[in-house]
Structure formats: C-alpha cells, structure tokens
Structure 1
C-alpha cells in the first residue's frame, strides 16, 4: 500500500475492483454502478492508476466530472487519501485553472475541458483510462465526450479503457454505448435514511421559467428549522438556484450557533473548501444540485429537499434560451437523500406529498433533448460528423433543434452552409471554449476594439453577472472591474483566458464602454438587436417584443442589443434582464445576414397594403408606398385575406348562398364528384373556382364584386355530365300536391327542410325524398298563418296519429280553412273554404 490513509481501506468499492479490472482487461470498457459514499469517485481512479499497490501497472487516468466544484473536490480528496498535495500524484484542470504536476497519474477534469482536449488531440496521447463520472446526469458535454471516446477506441486507440460510473443510471444503455461492456456493481454500506414527507400546508404555484413560488421557499425554510429541532447533525438543503438559496438564507436568521453556508457553482472557492472540510459548529448548507454527486459534505445527517431543479430549455421560435425550474426526478431524489446516510443513519425531509412521488420523472431529461444544440453541433462538425449520425449517443439529437443549431453556425461562419462541415473559423471558435455565439463575438470584436476589451465584455456574457449589477451591460462591466466579490474574481480570470486566446488580434481599443458592450452583445445575439417602439418596449430583429424595466439605465435608448431576456408569468412580452446600448450602424453590421429589402404586399387591417420595405429581420428600417406591386404578390396577399377573413369577402347573393348549400348537401350524401364547399376545401381549390376574377382583383372592394355563385359553378362536375342532374338531385324548389312550388331550405345539409302549409299536403301519403330517393325531407307543416304546426319526416305516420291533435288545436282558430277528418283522401288546397266553394 502506497502511503494510503486508513479511511480508504473501508470504502465499499474496494470489493468491486477485481471485477472492474477484469472487465477493462477483457472488453476495454465497463459500467460501474456504485451507490453514493462507496468511493467510486476517489478510490477507483487511484486503483486504476496503480497508486494503491506498487505491484500494479502504473497508468495515467483522466476522470471527467460534470462540474468544476466536483472536479476540485475529487482531486483534493484523492490527494488527501494519498497523504499528498494536489498536483503531486493527483491534479485537476478546470476552465481557467490547472494544478497538475509532472508526476501526476490521475487528472480530474470537467467534461468541457476533456471535450476541448479531444478536439486538439483525438488520440488522448499518454492517457490509459478515462472515467466518466456521474454519467446519469446526462449533461450534453458528457454525452458528447462519451460518443467521441467510443470513436477514438474504434478508430485510433483500441487499448484505451473507458469506465462510465454512476450511482443511478441506465446501466444497460451505457453498456450498449461502450460496446456491450460488462456492468460492475459495488455494494453500498450506506446507512439507513428515514423519509419524512413534509408537503406545504397550502397549495403552491408550480414553477414557471425561473420563478419559484415564494410560499414554497418560506415552507422550505420552516422545514429546515423543523429538521434542526427534530434531528442531530448538519442539514443539507437542496434548492434549484442561487436566487432561491439567497432567499431561504435570508429567512434562516436567528439560529443561534448554527452556521448557514451557501454552496453553488458561483460560490467562492474558500466557501466551497469550508463546506467540504467540516466544522465543529452545527451547520445548514444550502446547495444547488452541485451537492448531489461527487461531493461528501462532512457532518450531514439530514437532507431537506425542495424537490426542484434547473434544466436548460430553448425556445427556437422566440430565440430565447435559458435555464428553467422543473420538478426534480426520482433519481435525483435518491441521490439527494443518500447524502444524509453517508456517515451515519439520517433522514430526508421531502417538501412534497408522498402521493406525488410516483408521478415524478424517473431520470432527469437528457440535455440533448431540451437544450440549445449550437455548441454540440459545432463540436460534431469539427469532429467530422456534422449530423451526429455516426456517434454512439444514448439519445439522438432532435432534428428540429439540430437544424436550428446549423442555421446559427452557418450565420456566424462556423460551418459551411451546404455541407455542414466546420470551416477554419469554426475550428478556431470551437477551441475558444465558449458557446459559438460568444466565440463569434470575441473573434469579430477583438480586431475592432482590442483583445482585452472584447474579452472582458464577452466574459460578462459567458457567466451572467449578478442581478444587483443591473440590466445595463456597460454598467455591469464597470461594476465587475471595480468589484472585489466572487463574481468579479471569476470574471477577471475568464477575461484573461479569453484575451490570451485572441492575443494576436489587432485593434486600438477605441470606443466607450457602452459602444463595446453593445457591439459584443449584438455580435453574439444578432437576432436580438432591438429598436424602440415606444413606451419602454422594443422589437427584436427576431420578432420578439421585450420591455425594459421602469427606471432602467437602458430607458430611452433608440437601439439595444439584448443579451439576456425572459418572459414573466402572464406577461405579453419578454423582459430585458441584460442589454447594451447600440447604434443603428452597429446593429446593421452585427445582424447583416438578417438585412433584406424588397416589395411587400400584405393583407393588413382588412385590405391590401403594398410597400417597399427595408428590414433588419422583423425591424422595419425604411418604408415607402408601392404603387404598382407585382401581380403575384397581390394574389398571395388576397389569398391571405380570404384565409383570415373567409370567403365572406366575396359577393354572396341569396342564389349564391343556396347554390353553396345545395352543393354541400350533395357532397354530404353522395360524395364525389360533388365538391366539398367548406371554407378549407374552397381555399385548397381556389385556382379552380376563383380564377380569373382573383387575378383581376387588387383590393378588398374588388373581391366584394365577385359573384360567388357564378364562381362556384366552375366546381360542378361538368366533365362526367353529373352537373346536369343538380336540379334533379337537389332541386331548388319542390312541387307539392296543391301545385305550389316550394323552396327547399338546404341550410342543414344533413336533412333539408320543406316548409309548407298543412292543407297543401293533403292526399300525399309518403314524405318527399331527394338525392335519388336517399334523403327524406324534413317537412315543417305550417298553419294558415305560416307558423309551424308540426314537424315530421314521416307523413304517413303523421296523417294517422299526429294530425288529429293538430286539427283539434287549429280548426277553432282557423275556421275558414278546411280541416277534413281524413286528410289522406282530402284534396290539397292553397285556399279557404269560401274560395273552394266559389270555385
């Protein structure tokens, strides 16, 4: 044993090491399923590197973690187990920070760092084993790294060993991805954890976007106080984000000697170290999901779980992407609860009802299914597989999201629009370690304003500044420069890194902070350059409207470049959270691919509007009336009007309406070749029945002069001769026994109506039928005054039973009209008794 502390000897994963080594020697890959606290993150890398036993072969092991805090913590823990300093046998590399000495055999990196390394050196020279830790979280970088590593093994390095490690994962899926690799399970010795269901006393609003109901956060704070009173040990409370952590922390004042700590990806390194080091004081640790995996927080005996998490989402229609609050999965719930049983028996207080638990998703949504895929698409293009069709992925990327990503990449010159292959510029962008939008902004702004200033502005966008910095990007920049807070320190480190990546760029660094900040934001988000439309509202080039907050330093600006926006619950427009001032020239320059100029004819306000328009996306830059628009444009606009307002725009006389109703009846009961004359069907066949009238129209008034009935005649089945039978099959009028010709009402195509005075139907035994005898008319028998006396579709039955009641009711009121006892044999008439006698 090589200077190993005794704590490592008791880690349960030791029992699984022989099986793991055997799997790697055999197939070269393995899936390691090990519960929290078993040592999979800390002991397994040391074992595979040969650092536990001098007789073992020395290997170089790279461990990929999803987060920087986890990478640092894992390296420190392993170094501690060896009795060494970080950087000796074990080091780490995260973005902007590398602590790896010349003798290091284990290097812990973030998946993003490993992804960059693979693009520079596909063979991963000198690396013998790669461990993908916490692969159950399904981060996009981790899925991409796994797919690339499978490619490397297949084509370049068959001897490279791969391990997918997690406590809760789709073991079979990962085994398939790694080439039907064996699944190695380590038994845990986790202590029992009691589950306490602690739902809010009253219903709370579900999360929406980034918003969490304050009532739920107040409840979580009360549950923390309850847990402190009911249980011993430190309390670890899971919340979705930094804002919620701050709010709950503010409600936990007055806890006496209990220390409240906040842990998240933006927390200062000193705070992170203090949490992981333990304390003699009792503590409440408020944490995001960074504390779910890879980190053991000493002293924790109780977990309070809010049941919420943050996941990325993208709205391609609005061009806005951001994190959103969701219900945490069952797998996350198990991971969180496991934190309470790492060192001793514990308890988890779940802030939801037990009945809800079974309805939660089993696993977190794979990021590839829900996130912006621009960075992923650039990585795959640089890898040589633009469509990601040949990559070993647990879930394929959605086609629509990939198409949107390729559009973004083509617009910034990162890929060839035809082939999707990465350009030289795209390769350079991929190596900056930024989202392609921000890489574009950095590369294009540096020659204009200087590498340092461009890098500083881009660094503000790579990690959104705290809300207290304000919504003005230039103002936030000045605050970051002068601030000594944790964000300012991270911002300066990132700015230096970015500046070094474009150090060869020229540029005098001219221009105010406002100009540089606005230019960078516009270059990164060209579809979000926005012009004021009054009242604090702006229209983005992408078509979304956004409002600046009242009293904002951005108010009154003619143009803005919006970097961050969201849409509050119930709001009609987006809300600007971070933006820079920009002038029209800079907006035109940054969004040049969105610039267009041409004739437009639209249906607007109930009529045609013809204009020559210069646009920047949805923003109209210049407009003038168009006197002679192209006929094709006019026709399309008229069709739009007909679709929006219906064929009621045409001239519909009574005869025209009746023709349409008769055709609808025939189509309903006889089908083809009789045409469908519903609105959608008429629009689909507009070329057949509304030409040439439509081609001669140029405004709404012209449509109103078109005889719709005459136009509909073109749809009749003339070719087969059926059109000549229309009056026979669906007659306009029907001659009744009295000799009158009564108009048939076809407004209900299911069963047309014949409304006729009762006396005129005497002697008719059977109900009249139409459509080749298929459809009986619904006969409305009227009184002498023309009011409905009876309704029947079976005259014979009416004469036998219904007529007596009608006769008894009406003969007293209409004594001048005939009311024979036997209507079936009585002569039909339109006249009174007196006229009948006179005749």
Structure 2
C-alpha cells in the first residue's frame, strides 16, 4: 500500500511540474534540491509512473556510494509499501536485488559505467538520474560524459537528470546543452552555529594522519552537544579509523547508542541509523551522511572539519586518500542536517576566523585522483585522450600520460592509446586495471588457482582493516576466518572474481554487478560504440619492455631469473598478486630500509611481520609527516624470481659508466628498475660513455682535476675580467660556459682519457689557451690588457688579483707607491689598491691615490709611524721617493 501521506510531505513535489516540462521540452534537466526534500526518492518514482499517474518508464538512478544506493532503494520500496526488488530494486558490486517488474533501479555510478560500456544504448532505459553530482566523483563525471555522448549519437530520446543538493547548476546546465535548472525549496529550520575550536593548537592533517588531540577534542564536543541539545547528535569525521577512535574515546554513554556509519559498516548498522529508535543516538559518520543519507532525529551536528580526497604522489609512485580541510560547501551541507526536523545547532571544531580560509568547494576527483581507470574507460569508449568527452573539468595532461604509460605496460592499450583486446577484458572485470592485470596473470605467474588469486585481489580491492596487520598473507588468513563485516564483503567480492577468472574466462561474472566506486575499470566490446567514438580493438596480447610504472603484461619468466620462481611459504600467492598489481613497488632490503624498483625507499613499522624478508611486494604505502621514505602499510614477502617475472618490463641490462667515488667506474649492470641485481667490471667500456663520465666528474669536482689548475685559475680570472669589461672576442670562462665549449678547448686530450689519472695529465692552462682569440690577433694583447703583474713606483713587479672581475686588486706596501699621482689601470679599469703596512697588513684601500695622499694618508701616518719608526713616513707622499726598504738601508 502506497504511503501517500509520506509522499505528500516531501517538499520536492512542488518542483515536479517544472521538471516534467524541462524533460519534455529539452530532454535534460538540472534538479537542485536540498537534502531531505525527496529528490532521491519521490522524483524517480514519479518519473517511472509508479506514483502520480504518469506514463510507465524505466528509470535508473546512479548514486556515488553503495550504502546510499541500498538506502534509496529500500526507502522507495517502503514508500510504495513493497519490498526492495519488486517495483524498485538496486544493484551494487556483489549484490543485485531486482525483479521482472522493477521499473526503478538504483545503481552505483561504477555499475552504470559498466553497463554503458556493454550496451551504449542502455536498451529499455528511459530516464537516467545522476544523483549527488556536486560531489564530483570521477565515475559520476565520466558517466555523465558517456550519457551525453549516447544522447547525441544514438538515443536523443534518452532523458537525463543531474540532481544534487547544492551544485554548480550553471556549469551542469551548460554541460547538458543548456538544460533548464529546476529548483526545489526544502523545509529547513534555523541552525545555530557554535564555534568550538580546540583550546590548544593541533597539528594539521597530513596524508591519512589526523592529530589524536583533535579527535579527543571532537569527542569532548560530542559530549557537550549531548548535554546542551535535545535529540540525536550527528558527528562528521574523515574516515573509518577516526570514527573508531572517537567511538573508543566516548566509551559507553548512559542512555545513548553510539553508531558508526561508513561504507564498511554492516547492513544492520546502516538500517539502524536510517530508522529512529527509542534511545538517543550519537551517529559517527563519514561524508556519506552529508547528502546521500538522511539520518532522522538529528538536532545537533558536530563537524570535525575534515574530509578525505584521493591524491597521487607521482614522484614516489604512491596513490592514496589524503585528509584535507573540508570545503565551505561541505560545511554548509553538514550543518543543514541539524535543521531538517526542528531548530538545531552545528558545533564546528575550528575557529570562526579560519572559516573564510577554507576552500569553497571540494576538489573534483578528475583533478587529483589516479586516472588509470578513467583512461581505460575513455580508451574502451573510443576516445583515448578524453578530448571529445563533455566534462566539467578536463583531465590533467600529466596524470593522463602517467595513466597511459601504465595501461600500455600491462597491454591494455596500444601505443596510440586505443584499447586492446586485453584492455577490454581488463575493463570487464570491474577492477582497477592494475588489479585486473594481477587477476588475469596470477595463475600463469605461479600464484596457484584462480580462486586463490581472486581472494588476494578481493583483499586488495578494498583495503583490509588495520588490525589485520601489514602482512598481506596474514591479512588473507584473517579474512578467511573472520566473521566481521569486512570479511563478509570480502567473501562476496571473492565469489564475483572467482567467476570472472574461472573457466568461462574474464568476461564471466561481469554482468550486472561488475563494479562500483572510483576504482572501477571499464568494460565492453569496442564494436557498437557511438559513431563519433567507434574504434575497433587494436589487438590482444600484452606489451612488455615499457619504461614506466609497471611491469609487462606477460607472465613469462625473465632471462637470468634466480630462485625457484615462487615465494617462500604459504604466502607466495599473496606476494605474486601484489607484485603483478604493483610491479614498480617490488622492493629489496637495502640496509635499514627497502629500495623499490621505482627508486623510492620504503620502511616497515616496528614489529612488522615482514621484517627481515630479503624481498617484498608493497601493496599499500603512504609517506609519514616529515619523512622522505614511504611507509609500508600492506605488503608480502617474495623472492627474487617472483620479482624478476612480475616486473619483467623493468629488467634492464647494459653498460653503466659513471663517475663515482672520485673516478670512472665502468660495469655491466643488471637492474630491476632502480634495484641493482648484479654487476661485473667492464674491461673495454664504450669510449663515448667514458667521456661522459669524465665530464660528469669535472662537473662534480671542478676543473681542479686538471694539471696546473692553480696556474690556470689565474688565467681564467684574467679572461673573466676581460670578458666582463671588453666582451667579445674574449671568452666566457664560467664553469657552465666551459662545459658547453668543452669540445673546443679540452680535446683531443679528453677523448684519450680513461680515468682520473688521465685528467691529471692534461695541462689546464695550455688547454684554456685554445679559447683565446688567436684568429683576430687579440690573443697577443692578453698581457697588455690584463697583465699578471705590473711595475709599481718602487720598481717591484706586483701581482694583480683578478678574483673579482669587476675590480682587480693590487696589494702593495704603502711606501712603494710614494710619488704616484694616479691609481694604475688595466684595460681602462682603475685598479683597487690595497695599501699595506710594512708588516704586510692592510692599512688603507683606495681607487684614487691622489685623493688618498691628500686626505687619507695623514691619519694612516699618525697611526703607523710610531709602530714602524724604521720606515719612512714623509709629510708629502705624493712627492716622496718610493722605496721597498727601511730608512737605514736608504741611508746607506
């Protein structure tokens, strides 16, 4: 029996006529409706003709999360007085609840993408509703682009609704070809904002880390909200770990149930949250409760102000979720949950002054996430570069290039980026392409049966709880025997993957429940695509030898592999699968850490079960605050044979000639990426490589490696002075300029050199002389324009210091300059004269001797003649006789 009273109470009803007109006239619409108005429940029922008496249609509603898809399906079925699976059903990964009479099906965006790749026409579907568009999940953006492509090329009658609580309505309207925007007004009550920052500063989030002091503060604010406000309390936290920690801090609250809501929560807990109970509740939730779920009874919201977003560290080859400050848009969404049923309050755990510095909106996933799965989706769709897809934000070029490199290496796309037959198979699996590659190649690599490989891949497709430990083999055993919610989901996914990897081939089991969430791949044949996207498969098979972030698709053993080829012990399959999925993360123990094939170092935590393993395959890692090394969160022990086979595309062997330890080192080296496997000395290395190594040594250690470098330094300074003041044809002799012209001045000696000792035989000054302007005749004027020494009035020949090319320096005893009226010049530049005392210490500095004799000399004379009475100190130095001697010698 239809619950008409509940349907009539939904505020979105007032916007339904406008929505119907928009779809009738334009075929697309943007529906903006606050949470709780009924956009997710009433609108699909009306569009399907299940309520309101409209024509019967089949409607697909796409939700970003499994928990939201299930909840929406059950809510709509309840409104119709039915059970889920009758007129309304749902399909998520590993669960399909639909019947022959189903007219509204709620799916995840990942499942929708799978269907679009298998059947671009979406035969039998009349309307698609993309819900929660404001969250900008990558799968939702991709699905919207594909659907618009289908409408333009195959099915212009397919109706499309982009629905959201708060979104960029104008942007989505433009994307949908000028679609009308329909707004529904929600019923909301005043929400008081209570600023509740921690009393003491807390450390900002970094990676997945959240300061425990902040979580303790959040727990105290929850207690405060319980004491100050009636009803239930909804607390927003970034992830499962933080929810568990705050729940533990709260402990047992008298008369209050503490519920933990997230994607991994058991169905019973999810159901309990969505139904009001007799006792007060504290609901600790991730962002799933911002708009996807409506929690009844909430009068107070506690907002920790944090969110999780995907991030890729291309430099270290790591991708993971990162904790960030929640956007102002998310904060508004969260606050609104307190005013759904009555006046409420939101307790924000940050200072009011910080609010203006928060980002306006969450970052679109396409801008920050790993794009490997997206790139495969686009390639199978027929648009490898995604240049023809209607997207609110284009994918970053660097991230797409990195994704194509991975896909090429595993044989999913050809060199032009087009999907291969193997790529289509990978896409059908509903997994990230890396995990799909591991599932396809695991058996041939020695990982045991397809069932065992499926178990490990299922474990990697949803990271296991931290209490399972960091050893993938131990985590697998824990999942096998575990009776927790994770174990139940793992077993469901394992069954799906066993079917996909079984005797029927990887296409089996892909239908219907192939995958959901941002890690899904794409599937479907290349034929039958919209005309604008149609490209046939470029061929099956794999591609090996690709220089990149992953190993080749082939599971064949590599030449020269050592070991038996199977990891030791019962955990061998886990290591093989992890290494196949992340070949650039196979790592060998190197001192106190592990060196991964990617070149990144990784460390194990204290007490890790993997400590001591010579080789490991790193499945999950992050980078702790303040550390350059990665930290292994999940990995498995392997041996060298497994590392060689699974990462065979990273195997290289060749001559390496480089400058190391102060000399040329020439070896034949076998490497697995950055890991050196074996090395043997080279007796007759390639001369070009040796020359390059010698130049590397000169860059690192300087031209002091050449003979007579000290004398040559004086020549370089003189030439630098002339180049500075006269320019061409006098050469630039800075280090970078000399390296750029090395062929002109250091040959042929450099080509004959083989080691450091040979460099020490090259006369540096003679070599530099080749750069002098001999052809113009100017070289002969070197000593005239920049003499090494000049004769001073006493007759001494004193060296000029050209260390500062702007102003040469002449350091000479003061008495030797008597009688000289003007400062000496070289190349027209006055020399800076350092006048020294009889003991050789600086007494005065001047560039104008005449001025010094007139004004400065008196003070110097008064200070020094008593200290040096044996030396002449005439009253008129400008007219006195210069001398190198004391008064006694002058008298003789």
TM-score calculated relative to the size of structure 1: 0.94
Is 1:552 aligned to 2:549, yes or no?
A: no
> Counterpart in 1 of 2:434?
437
Structure 1: which 5+ runs fail to align? none
Counterpart for residue 475 of structure 2: 476
Q: Quick one: distance in 2 between partners of 1:674 and 1:173?
A: 62
Indicate which of 758, 772, 775 corresponds to 2:829: 775
Q: Does 1:228 align with 2:282?
A: no
Deviations 1:602-627 (A, max 9, x none): 22222222222222222222222222
- Where 1:244 maps in the other structure, the secondary structure is helix
Deviation, structure 1 residue 267: 0.6
1:514 is aligned to 571
Partner of 1:529: 586
Report the CA distance shift for 1:434/1:764 in structure 2 as closer, same or farther (over 3 A): same
Q: Structure 1 residues 231, 667: closer, same or farther in 2, change over 3 A?
A: farther
Range with greater deviation from structure 2 (670-679 or 223-232): 670-679
Match of 1:341 in 2: 339
Deviation at 1:833, TM superposition (A): 4.4
Q: Which moved more, 1:461-470 or 1:2-11?
A: 2-11
Match of 1:271 in 2: 269
Provide the residue aligned with 1:330 in structure 2: 328
- How much does 1:542 deviate? 1.9
Alignment length, in residue pairs? 831
Q: CA deviation at 1:805?
A: 1.3
- CA shift in 2, pair 1:20/1:415, >3 Å: same
Question: Contact 1:275–1:297 (CA<8 Å) still a contact in 2?
Answer: yes
Q: Secondary structure at the match of 1:190?
A: coil
Alignment-derived partner of residue 752 in structure 1: 808
Residue by residue, what CA displacement relative to the aligned partner does 1:640-696 show, whole Å, maximum 9, x if unpaired? 223333333334543211112223333334444443333333333333333223222
CA–CA separation in structure 1 for the residues paired with 2:293 and 2:611? 45
Query: Which residue number corresponds to residue 627 of structure 1?
Result: 683
Q: 1:207 aligns with which of 205, 208, 224?
A: 205
Alignment match, 1:657: 713
Residue 500 of structure 1 corresponds to 499
Matches of residues 373-452 of structure 1 in structure 2 within 5 Å? 373-416=371-414, 418-446=415-443, 449-452=448-451
2:164 match: 166
Mapped to 2, the partners of 1:501 and 1:686 lie a distance apart of 61
Change (3 A) 1:710 1:49: farther
- 8 Å CA contact 1:446–1:506 kept in 2: the answer is no
Q: Measure, in 2, the Cα distance between the counterparts of 1:30 and 1:765.
A: 93
Aligned positions of 1:53-64 closer than 5 A? 53-54=52-53, 56-64=54-62
> Offset at 1:73?
1.1
Look up the match of 1:668.
724
1:694 aligns with 2:750: yes
Which of 814, 832, 854 is the equivalent residue of 1:800? 854
Residues 823 and 406 (structure 1 numbering): CA distance in 2 closer, same or farther, change over 3 Å? same
404-413 vs 757-766, which moves further? 757-766
**CA separation of 1:739 and 1:310: change in aligned 2, threshold 3 A:** same
More displaced stretch, 670-679 vs 236-245: 670-679
TM-score w.r.t. structure 2 length? 0.89
Contact 2:66-2:108 at 8 Å conserved across structures: yes
Using a 3 Å threshold, how does the CA distance of structure 1 residues 227 and 688 change in structure 2: closer, same or farther? farther
* Higher alpha-carbon deviation: 273-282 or 160-169: 160-169
1:88 to 82, 86, 89: 86
Q: Structure 1: how far apart are the matches of 2:728 and 2:73?
A: 76
2:41 corresponding residue in structure 1? 42
The equivalent of 1:72 in structure 2 is 70
> Structure 1 residue 302: deviation in Å?
0.8
Aligned equivalents of 1:667, 1:214: Cα separation in 2: 62
Q: Distance in 2 between matches of 1:689 and 1:355?
A: 64
Q: Distance in 1 between matches of 2:782 and 2:704?
A: 24
Paired position in structure 2 for 1:175: 173
Evaluate the alpha carbon distance shift between residue 690 and residue 143 of structure 1 in structure 2; reply closer, same or farther with a 3 A threshold: farther
Deviation of 1:534 (Å): 5.0
CA distance in 1, matches of 2:173, 2:389: 15
Question: What secondary structure is seen at the aligned counterpart in 2 of 1:449?
Answer: coil
CA distance in 1 between partners of 2:18 and 2:209 (Å): 47
Alignment correspondent of 1:615: 671
CA RMSD of aligned residues (A): 2.4
* Equivalent pair of 2:703/2:709 in contact (CA under 8 Å): no
- Map residues 119-130 of structure 1 onto 2, 5 A cutoff: 119-130=117-128
Say which of 293, 302, 308 aligns to 1:295: 293
Q: CA deviation at 1:181?
A: 2.4
- CA–CA separation in structure 1 for the residues paired with 2:142 and 2:779: 65
The corresponding residue for 1:598 is 654
**What do the CA deviations read for 1:754-777 (whole angstroms, capped 9, x no partner)?**
112223333333333333xx5332
Q: Distance in 2 between matches of 1:692 and 1:629?
A: 18
CA distance in 2, matches of 1:653, 1:445: 60
Counterpart contact for 1:449–1:510, Cα < 8 Å:
no
Is the 8 Å Cα contact of residues 64 and 130 (structure 1) preserved in structure 2?
Answer: yes
In structure 2, the residue matched to 1:354 is: 352
> How far 1:836 sits from its partner (Å)?
4.8
Residue 582 of structure 1, aligned match among 608, 632, 638: 638
Residue of 731, 734, 738 corresponding to 1:678: 734
- Post-superposition, which runs of at least 4 consecutive aligned residues in structure 1 deviate over 6 A? 509-512
Mark the CA change 1:137 to 1:724 in structure 2 (over 3 Å): closer, same or farther: farther
Alignment deviations for residues 317-345 of structure 1 (CA, whole Å, 9 cap, x no partner): 22221111111111111111111111111
